[in-house]
Amino acid sequence: MTSIGVRRTLKDVAELAGVSPMTASRALRGIGTVAPELAQRVRAAAAALHYVPDPAARALASAHSRSVIVLVPSLANAVFIDLLEAAQAVLAPAGYQVLIGSTHYSRDEEEELLRTYLAHRPSGMLVTGFERSEAARRLIEDSAVPCVFMMELTDAPGVHCVGLSQEAAGEAVTAHLLATGARRVGYVAAQLDARTLQRAEGYRRALRATGCYDPALELLSPARSSLRLGGELFLEFLERHPDIDALFFCNDDLAQGGLLEALRHGIRIPERVRVAGFNDLDGAGCSVPRLTTVRTPRALIGELAATMALALMRGERVGRTAVDVGFELIVRESA
């Protein structure tokens, strides 16, 4: 029934309800003390006119848009989609629009995104990890917009974060491989973001503790993570280090790529080489053999981070600024 270009404004709603625009505004926002009867009339009028507040006018008048920036390194990685979906599930019902940004693992792109998005005067922001350019750090700091850091943890006071110790998780995986008898354990990684390197640290710590550490057994590729790359690195590793008895891949994609190449070449897993991944993505339970990995509670991280941001946006002080969601070693068939 609505014809083209009909834009209802607060004034229209107010007139229909027989009140001033200001009262209508208050009623619709559920603010202050508006007589219940009036509020009801305003809501009815708004509904009748299909009134939708103009976010631009709102932002301009109040100096705040009802939006929350969420920055992740990539959309091609299920880990970050889980984060996004969970955050959105919290923020949307609270009336906030989520502005999704992918940095493509680039500091420059993150900086650019921050500059662009901050111009919208968001009410809050969720970003991934702590590794970023100095300029980006300052943009966040100076904007004074409540910010929650996801995935990793820090002790720094006043910094709000929800995540897990990537190093501890990496150590746990390696410890498991050692506990099942492995002695020559390799680490295969790609993308090489901060978390991947933190897992490497955990890997080293576990090996050093048992005197098994050998720097030659680390294969770090800056290339983008993929099944294909995992397969290539797997074969390369076996060729270079035939004495290997376990491989810890920094993520499930690489690990599954390795498992597939193993199948293709008749390399028996875990008999010949134990294989472990990281993240416990959907497919980990379906591979042949099923993948031993670490379950990272991504959805929980997104949910708690969004909830924490919401609290900060309301001006509340949150008690626990660093929330450790932990991780869970999932032992399946591959190691």
Partner DNA sequence: TTGTACGCGTTATCAA
Partner DNA sequence: TTGATAACGCGTACAA
Spatial distance between the Cα atoms of 136 and 138, rounded to a whole number of angstroms: 5
Total residues at interface with a copy of itself (CB under 8 A)? 48
Residue 330 CA from chain centroid, whole number = 21
Q: Are strands 328-330 and 246-249 parallel, antiparallel or unpaired?
A: unpaired
Supply the minimum distance, in Å, between the C-beta of residue 81 and a copy of itself. Answer: 5
Q: Which does 326 bind (CB under 5 to 8 A by kind): DNA, a copy of itself, none?
A: none
Q: Does 12 bind a copy of itself (CB under 8 A)?
A: no
The angle at the Cα of 170, spanning 168 to 173, to the nearest 5 degrees, equals: 110
Supply the minimum distance, in Å, between the C-beta of residue 27 and DNA. Answer: 7
Within positions 229 to 288, which residues make up the interface with DNA, using CB under 7 A?
Answer: none
Binding mask 6-25 for DNA (x = CB under 7 A): -x-xxx-------xxxxx-x
Burial 277-314 (b: 16+ CB within 10 A, else e): bbbbbeebeebebbbbbbbbbbbbbbbbbbbbbbbbbe
Q: Which does 116 bind (CB under 5 to 8 A by kind): DNA, a copy of itself, none?
A: a copy of itself
Spatial distance between the Cα atoms of 236 and 227, rounded to a whole number of angstroms: 14
Within positions 18 to 77, which residues make up the interface with DNA, using CB under 7 A?
Answer: 19-23, 25-26, 28-29, 32-35, 38, 51, 53-54, 57-58, 60-63
Q: Does 33 bind a copy of itself (CB under 8 A)?
A: no
Spatial distance between the Cα atoms of 9 and 129, rounded to a whole number of angstroms: 41
Q: Which does 314 bind (CB under 5 to 8 A by kind): a copy of itself, DNA, none?
A: none
CB atoms within 10 A of CB 134: 9
For binding to DNA (CB under 7 A), which residues are involved?
Answer: 7, 9-11, 19-23, 25-26, 28-29, 32-35, 38, 51, 53-54, 57-58, 60-63
